[in-house]
Structure 1
Amino acid sequence: MQLLDGKKISQKIKDEIKLTIDQLIKQEKRIPKLVVVLIGDDYASHLYVKNKIKACQEVGIQGEIIHFPTSVTEVEVLQAIEKLNQNSEVDGILVQLPLVENLNEFKILNTIAVSKDVDGLTNINAGKLLQGDATAVIPCTVKGIIALLKAYNLEVVGQDITIINNSNIIGKPLAMILNNMGATVSLTHKATKDLKNYLSNADIIVTATGVYQLFTSQNIKADVIIIDVAINSSKDKKLVGDVDFESVKDKVKAITPVPGGVGPMTIAMLLENLMLLYHDK
């Protein structure tokens, strides 16, 4: 079994970005800036945002949080984003998801200027991705998964890949990219009928459902590659993914650990996307 160490690969990416930032500082040029819009008091969201800002600081990128209470109105959020759109010092805008129930996610995300859409979630970026446009900003988690597969020279051409997630953030864009790369992709979710059949035939499984022990070694074939995107809490309060790691570890060809797999790659790709937007100005 090969452990797909996202922490190790992401550190290499961050080191390269830091070198670029150091050069910008020496040349007395403007430093890239990321602004994260955080709404409410969800513990996980606050933790994720904290890690994103910490990563910015580690490489020398400017990171700022705009925090709204749960009671914020949609108009207030939209006005804040429009203001950031007009600010030439801001290179990337990220709205931390999920949003509170009274806010329209579609409307808020599509208020972000395409030139500052650091997580690639606007309609225009989604359309570019669908058409295979090389200028599309790829959602950070998706980009992190692809980068991890490439870093370990894991072939996707001709492979049967089952994705257990049909969201606009992970499942749908990942399916499009893998399909364009030559894979045969099955896009499923936790309510898919006969999910076990999809799993048992897959060469690569990407899972992101938030359901711990969604499947075990009995549901997969030998030498499968598992990309576990989920972060859950087990009964003994440990961070785990969707997969029963101990059950599958002796049967798989490669697997991402949780934590330390896709999570660090997502943050590294956020920084990489920000640098792309910065240089595109």
Structure 2
Amino acid sequence: KPSLAIIRVGNRPDDVYYENSIVKNCESMGIWPQRFILEQNISMDDFIEVLNIVNAEPRIHGIMIFRPLPRQLDEEILQHIIDPAKDIDCMNPLNQAKVFAGDMSGLLPCTPAAVMETLKYYQIGLKGTHVVVVGRSMVVGKPLSMMLLKEDSTVTICHSKTQNLPEVCRNADILVAAIGKAKFIDDKYISDKSIVIDVGINDTGDGKICGDVDFQAVVNKVQAITPVPGGIGSITTTLLLKNVVQAIHLQKSRHYRNDFNHKDLH
């Protein structure tokens, strides 16, 4: 039976929400979810020990680590440790490099892939289209920008140091919000031509979630907008489970360098 290891550090409400969604979908699709819930103050050594266990366990086919991780855990080191053939959210540099080189045949990062699937489903043309991506993380912003470039979009990546952010966003044909700040994007950031993709999952403090976009402030002023909940997050979860199945095939093949062991070499 396909199996997914979910590694969560601490109890961030948005992580818990996403995890519950993944588990529910796993169960409906015949994938066995295994949760590893770790203390917020876990040491680097202890985290690596858990990661090595799930890497080595042949009955685990996919590994999902919730990011960002607490400060004491060095993602730069951990991304090299996760088995690239089990790395279903494209954390390992081997998998990232394929995406950045324009090769979309491997394990794609789930949220950027969900954005691309949404645009494709609604037949929104990308060639020559100006896409503004707000957020430059390796989880969403950077890989998504590479995937958009592959489709011949003109991409602007914005971040906390960007000058005149509302003006830059207003000039977008497609605006992608991926900053992790609740309702940050309001009507100052959009125009009547905007297509808005909201990637955010934020806790509102009352048991509900909202996106990075103030939905009510913009919904009647834009061409189209994805809702939160029920938008990109739902597709992300589906693609995550698709990656688990793809990972099984990768582990059976010999395409990944850490499939090689000493008996292969002698």
Q: Indicate the SS of the match to 1:129.
A: helix
1:52 is displaced (CA, Å) by 1.2
Unaligned runs of 5+ in 1: 1-30
Do the aligned partners of residues 119 and 233 (structure 1) sit closer, same or farther apart at CA in structure 2, a change above 3 Å counting? closer
- Report the Cα distance in structure 2 between the residues aligned to 1:59 and 1:263, rounded to whole angstroms: 17
Partner of 1:67: 37
Partner of 1:164: 134
Query: TM-score, length-normalised on structure 1?
Result: 0.83
Partner of 2:193: 223
1:179 is displaced (CA, Å) by 0.6
Partner of 1:131: 101
* Root-mean-square deviation (Å): 1.9
1:42 correspondence with 2:12: yes
Do the aligned partners of residues 67 and 215 (structure 1) sit closer, same or farther apart at CA in structure 2, a change above 3 Å counting? closer
Unaligned runs of 5+ in 2: 253-266
- Report the Cα distance in structure 2 between the residues aligned to 1:237 and 1:40, rounded to whole angstroms: 17
How many residues in Structure 1 have an aligned counterpart in Structure 2? 251
1:227 is displaced (CA, Å) by 0.2
Is contact 1:74-1:103 (8 Å) kept? Answer: yes
Of the structure 1 ranges 262-271 and 48-57, higher mean CA displacement relative to structure 2 is found in 48-57
1:135 is displaced (CA, Å) by 3.1
1:274 is displaced (CA, Å) by 0.9
1:230 is displaced (CA, Å) by 1.2
Deviations 1:153-212 (A, max 9, x none): 111111000000000000000000101111000000243101122112110000022334
Partner of 2:89: 119
What code does the residue aligned with 1:86 have? A
Q: Indicate the SS of the match to 1:162.
A: strand
Do the aligned partners of residues 264 and 80 (structure 1) sit closer, same or farther apart at CA in structure 2, a change above 3 Å counting? same
Query: TM-score, length-normalised on structure 2?
Result: 0.87
1:79 is displaced (CA, Å) by 2.0
- Report the Cα distance in structure 2 between the residues aligned to 1:238 and 1:43, rounded to whole angstroms: 9
- Report the Cα distance in structure 1 between the residues aligned to 2:76 and 2:241, rounded to whole angstroms: 24
- Report the Cα distance in structure 2 between the residues aligned to 1:242 and 1:70, rounded to whole angstroms: 25
Aligned residue runs from structure 1 range 224-239, under 5 A: 224-234=194-204, 238-239=208-209
Q: Indicate the SS of the match to 1:135.
A: coil
Do the aligned partners of residues 242 and 66 (structure 1) sit closer, same or farther apart at CA in structure 2, a change above 3 Å counting? closer
Structure 1 residue ranges (4+ consecutive) displaced by more than 6 angstroms after TM superposition: none
Q: Among all aligned residue pairs of Structure 1 and Structure 2, give the percentage whose two residues are the same amino acid.
A: 32
- Report the Cα distance in structure 1 between the residues aligned to 2:22 and 2:184, rounded to whole angstroms: 28
Deviations 1:77-113 (A, max 9, x none): 2122222222221111111222222111221232111
